Structure formats: structure tokens, C-alpha cells
A = this chain, B = another copy of it.
Amino acid sequence: MPSPTASPSLTIRGTGSYLPRTRLTSAQVDAMRGWAPGRCRARYGIDARHVAGAEETTSFMAVEAARRALDMAGWTPSDLDLILGACGVMEQPIPSTAVLVADRLGLGGSGVAAYDVNATCLSFVQALDLAALKLAAGEARRVLVFSSDIASAGLDWDRPEAAAIFGDGAAAAVLEAGEGAILARGFETYAEGHGACVLAAGGTRVNPARGIAAGEDRFRMDGAQAFRVASRYMPAFLARLLARGGLDRGAIDCVLPHQASAQALRHAGRALRLGRDRIVDIFAQTGNQIAASIPTVLDHAVRTGRLRRGQTALLMGTSAGISLGGAVLRF
């Protein structure tokens, strides 16, 4: 990847997140699976995750998160001129999730552009980058980016290592140009790992018309392969990312990682050679929320004061692909 020439102006005016009403504790998982009490917590490092109800659709949750972000900014939906959906899995194939969110926000007759970006768990980071480019080019002035995911729709509890660690939720940010900036960004895909994390059913290859074999409608993860590919490339990726922005590790006030797993969060700390106090970790309370993880942890950091104006945050993570991605923001 060539070195970008500019630091695009990008100011996050508001953030918001939404957790489904139903909370599934690891004690409940132990009971459900017939495990010894405490096993789920001890094995996967998670206390609880939230599970979306039937009315808590992807677009419903996205709009709840978006309204909280708009409130923080003091904006209304009519202030927006671009809506970017950045989910791991869309609500439905046609039309895109951003369209459904635009309609729920009362923008159905507005003409506000709405479409989706999909980089699985890193969709939010790619959409932030796209928003910054659109702002810089004068193609948009005020942008909503949201990520909303319902992992529970595709989990296979007979493979608890790929089921126990996921949770549902949504988060959003509203953006404009201004004093904030993306100081560095990077994204690398190692498609040799494309089989490590797969949801096969729901597209053109595996679907009801063509037949769905047992298990193809459930998320399949070879955690060992995913971790192997990601950890092989992560240290050098992070070094390149920081070098691109002329940044030292010490300049990072706050790391907002994808909450992939307890193991992945420990690895991020080691790869960055930064103390755990710098890394915002909410995994035990939310699980891995696919694309919603990074903006949820961003919202958490903003609302708890862990990320303050003028500080520097590193958003980073891995996604199915396997892709590695990151963005350093001056908040």
C-alpha cells in the first residue's frame, strides 16, 4: 500500500451505542449447555452478551445508536447529507441497510445518499476513511456512520468457541470536517485466511433456492487459523501504520481495539507494547459484536472520559478476510 499524502480532517461530533434489552449471562450459558458453573466465564473471558429480540432489527438498533450520536452533536437527522452503513452482515441483501436507516430517520424523501461498506469487523474503520475522503472532496458535510450486527442470528452453539464470544449491538458516529483528523490509516487483506471465518449462506452461492447444507447457515470459525494469520502480520502492520503517520507508540493515548476475543485483546497489547491501561477492553460485558465492536468501544471511551478532545486514539483490529485495519484519530 502506498503512503497516503494527507491527514484528512475528520471530527467526531457525536457517538452513540445500543445494546439489546435481553442480556445473556455466562452463568445462563453454563446452565443451558450443562457446564459446570463458571466454565463459560473462565474459558472465554466473558461475563455476558446481549441478544437482539425480533423487533430489534439491524436497522432498528442502528437508529437507536444514531439518535444518541446525533443528540451528543446537537444535530437532527436533517443535518445529515451522507449515511454510510458499515455492518458485518446486512439486514437484507436488497436494498442496503443504510437505506433502511435513512427511512427510519425520517429521511425517506430527502435525497440524502445512503449506501453500505463491507469489510466485516473492520467496516466501521473503512467507512470512517471513506467519510473523511468525502468530506475532504466536498462531497459531504455531515456524515452518519453506523455499524449494527446481530451475531446471534448465525451462531452454532454446538461449537461454543465460535458462539459464546459473540454479542449483538449497534453503534454510530456523526462526523464533519474541523479540528479532528485521521493521522494515519492502513488496511491489509491476507485472503489466504478467507476460510478461517465464514458465513456461507445468505448470498448468491448458498441460499434457499440452491439449497443450504447443514451448518452452512451458521458462522464457522477456525479460531487457531484466524489467530495465526492475524498474529503473523499484526506487529509489522502496526509498525507501518504508525510510521505512516510519523507517530510513536507513546503518542497513542487510547487504543480502541475490535473486541474480537479475550485472547485477541491480550495480543493487541503485546503487539503494541503498550500497557493494558491504554487499551479499552469491554469484551467481558459485550462480547465480539462484529462490526459494532469498534464504534461501541469508541462510544464507551468518549462517554467515560477515557478519550478526550485533542487526544489521539488508535482504532484497530482484524476481520474475516483475514484483514488487518487501523486508523489513528486526533479526537
Contacts and interface: CB of A to CB of B under 8 A. Distances in A.
A284 interface: no
Contacts of A202: 92-93, 201-203, 207
Contacts of A97: 203
B57 A138 contact: no
A94 interface: yes
A92 B205 contact: yes
Contacts of A138: 2-6
Given A2-B138, A111-B233, A136-B137, A208 B203 contact: no
Contacts of A82: 1
B321 A194 contact: no
Interface residues of A, number: 92
Contacts of A119: 96, 115-116
Interface stretch (A210-218, A246-254, A260-268): A210-218
Contacts of A15: none
Contact of A99 (B107, B191, B201, B233): B191
A102 interface: yes
A94 B88 contact: yes
B190 A108 contact: yes
Contacts of A150: 204
Contact of A190 (B2, B109, B190): B109
Interface of A: 1-6, 8, 54, 57-58, 81-83, 85, 88-100, 102-103, 107-120, 122-123, 126, 129-130, 133-134, 136-141, 149-150, 153-154, 185, 187-194, 197-210, 212, 217-219, 233, 319-321, 323
Given A92-B206, A130-B133, 19 more contacts: A1-B111, A58-B203, A91-B203, A92-B199, A92-B205, A95-B120, A97-B203, A99-B191, A100-B191, A102-B191, A113-B187, A113-B323, A114-B191, A115-B117, A115-B126, A115-B189, A133-B133, A153-B207, A201-B208
